[in-house]
Structure 1
Amino acid sequence: MAYVKELDIFRAVSQWIKDNQDKLGPNEKTNILSAIRYQLMDEKELSEVRRSKLVRSDRNILDVIKKSLTQTLNDRGRLEPNVNFAQENLIEVSQIDGGTMIVLDHPVNINYIEMELCSCTYSYYIEVSIAKYSWFRVIDHSNYDSPKYNVASSSMDATVTNGYPHWTIKVVETLPDKIQNAILYDDYKNLLLDRGYTYHDLELGCIEVQLAQPYLLSSMRMLLWDHQKFTYGYTVHVSVNHEDWFLIIDKSNKSCQSWQLLQFEQRLVVYIRVTGVHTSCPDKTFNLKYLEAPAQVSLAFIIKKPWKSIPWLLNRK
């Protein structure tokens, strides 16, 4: 795609037509010249176009130019990866309808927006426009604050980005999504069939989940695979950008089994990283059967006092 001054394009096209005029059909000249965006030319440039030998010799070309000046601008651009179009010297910032509007100095095609929020928590959406009349919502984070439903599920477009599915998962499942994202399905409820677990080798990697968008979380729940009463020590880190990680749970010196109900200070989360530190499993693997966030059980069930046996409870006076 071309990204130069339209006058330069007109000059190049005129020269090409001159060099190939004997090969062109009756309408090909006007078809080619109609692709030029004369609307982007100033009066001085348009004057050069009108005075050119090509235009003066063909009335039809002049008509094409006049018609082009009244038509909608055709989209054309160049590919510029990793370029920040919102640099301070290229933008205008103002307030509109209770929000902030950033005006770039020229139209651009973009597919990625990155911004940094301060330490407060927000709900927001991002809309874009060419002429400030029609707006299109491209990002909608207006409903991510403090979710009550499980956002760490495959149905909510969460994915497992690190970790290995145990071979038993591949035996009972055929869908790639259910194999890769096994810990994001509540199949643990089927006690008649062991659907395996997702694992990572100790000191090699982790189990990592990416949520579909940022969510404010303050709890999680995990089910460790303890088929033979295995115990585990682990840590849980979270991140928004996959670069800055924060430790929210440290059970590296504990011997944990089965369900883990985790509570922590509320924070914005996109990535969840669970790392095994030690295990009694002979394979030296950290094995996770299920993960949900936030926890879908009442946090009041967290036992803070020493456990009392059922007989003790029944016989107390």
Structure 2
Amino acid sequence: MQAVRLPLMSLTELLNVVRPSGLLSPDAILDAIKVRSESRDMDLNYRGMLIPEENIATMKYGAQVVKGELKSALLDGDTQNYDLDHGFSRHPIDDDCRSGIEIKLGQPSIINHIRLLLWDRDSRSYSYFIEVSMDELDWIRVIDHSHYLCRSWQKLYFPARVCRYIRIVGTHNTVNKIFHIVAFECMFTNKAFTLEKGLIVPLENVATIADCASVIEGVSRSRNALLNGDTKNYDWDSGYTCHQLGSGAIVVQLAQPYIIGSIRLLLWDCDDRSYSYYVEVSTNQQQWTMVADRTKVSCKSWQSVTFERQPASFIRIVGTHNTANEVFHCVHFECPEQQSNQKEDSSEEPGTGDPSTPNQQLDPHAPRAPSASSLPPSPGPNSRSPNQQNQ
């Protein structure tokens, strides 16, 4: 009888069914009543279905969206065909967080991993939290990104929980007061992960295009050249991101907050120049923390930067000096630093550039960086789609 989970039974069942059966002692029944009365529902020892490494938020497993607007789009598996008008579920963002998007699983299930795709057809960011429940009354918060700016694919991990209901509540949108989700998946994974302050401590580089990181400030001939992993093919003309000294910076946005304690940079090194710079991190683009100050150091080629681990969604690299001209150039960025690549990269010849120097604005030998007028103009207030109000 030890396998029987008495605290999951109601008081009526314990008194009117279990007690008359005589199968359990009065003390065992009283202990069960005590546990049930003193514990919150989500702390009880529920059973749940366990299907490792498979998304159970699908119609195949009986999942359905029970709250939110445009419910049909969330679990249809389509992560490509969405725009301003369709392909997402949404809810209005309110101050009391009463609205939300809620998924009911086909049966109680054990999960520790959620993937969701935030609407990302422009540069907007969102904040949100996720809660799980068995009865829609007692909710446990498993993810809290309400104070972080997030975008695109979210890969979320948390201690395993048995749940039947999952609620995603948007708390902020940098464009309007609507929260949009394109896709949702949940599962149990055996993949090892480390959490600190509720955030993932990554071992692999998360500043990649595959992980939906992006360069949101800085000038380059190729978008996200800084994050494409190419540390060999760069020269006088291409393969780097830059900013003019004394104006602007190079800013990388990660898709979600991580606990970061190191980064690695490759400064442009096709000649003998040196640079000085500093690095700051932030979770909201408002408050910045300096994690490296190399403004009084002559730096060349590969740069390893380590610091006290802390939450970060944004990394800002600000050049302060270049011995050749008034522009700061960076070829590659990664975080955290990938030690396995250090030896391989350090043994390579720096740069692959043609020693000839074309006369172009982005040329590392050019005296100035491109002016703001050479960049694509930002959409003005009158350039939004008519549907922007709801998107």
Question: TM-score, length-normalised on structure 2?
Answer: 0.41
Q: Name whichever structure is richer in helix by fraction.
A: 1
